[in-house]
Amino acid sequence: MSIYPPPHHQSDQQDQMLRVVKAFPLATLISAKDDRPFATHIPIIYNEESSRLVAHIDKFNPQVETLFDGANVEVVFRGPDAYISPSIYATKQLPTWNYLMVHARGKVNLINDPEAAKETMVAMTSFLEGPKPAYVLTKDNTRMHRVIRYIQAFDIEVEHWEGKFKLSQDKNEQDFDNARAELLQNSLPRYHDLIEEMYQEFTR
């Protein structure tokens, strides 16, 4: 009997998943109301202290109606991906697509206090700017003071992590290496270290 998703394409190692989450913070937030699905692309960061995902969304976005305390949501972080042509394999194969994806499912906690919401924006900006920031956002920024009323901040208590790392793990060593080279070629150089690390961890 077939098993889906194939176990060899899955990871339950949270450290692996968090590397993808931190490298690709622009995520897809998915929720639903009355059988209608909603999806919004927003930056979502991981808070090391609370072990929660933190984000904010425009209050005029209709998806906000689905975001209440305790609401179930799913977040998808999309890492590097590439089409894998059968031409790159040493054996006969069919076309496929390789990728690094992380799904996080959990419950929403709204952050309604304006000062706390500002702190999430400051923290997010600091994370996105990196260790050598070209810009520093502070809580007393007058522009942020004007727009905070139009933003709904929230965090997500993650109940289930799922790493979907499809890297040709079911192929022989040569095909595995060829697929790795194809994914590297189709990815920005700044992600090469992450890709190499993942392939090393799946090396048989």
Full set of structural domains in the chain with CATH: 7-199 (2.30.110.10)
Q: Using DSSP, state whether 168 is helix, strand or coil.
A: coil
pLDDT at 1: 59
Q: What is the pLDDT of residues 154-194, one digit of tens each?
A: 999 999 999 999 999 889 999 999 999 999 999 999 999 99
pLDDT band at 200 (very low <50, low <70, confident <90, very high): confident
What's the CA gap between 67 and 73, in Å, rounded?
Answer: 8
This prediction's pTM: 0.93
Which residues, other chains included, contact 200 with Cβ-Cβ below 8 Å and sequence gap of 6+? none
Q: Using DSSP, state whether 172 is helix, strand or coil.
A: coil
Q: What value, to the nearest 5°, has the Cα angle with vertex 14 and ends 79 and 170? A: 65
Q: Looking at the predicted structure, is the pLDDT value of residue 204 above 60?
A: no
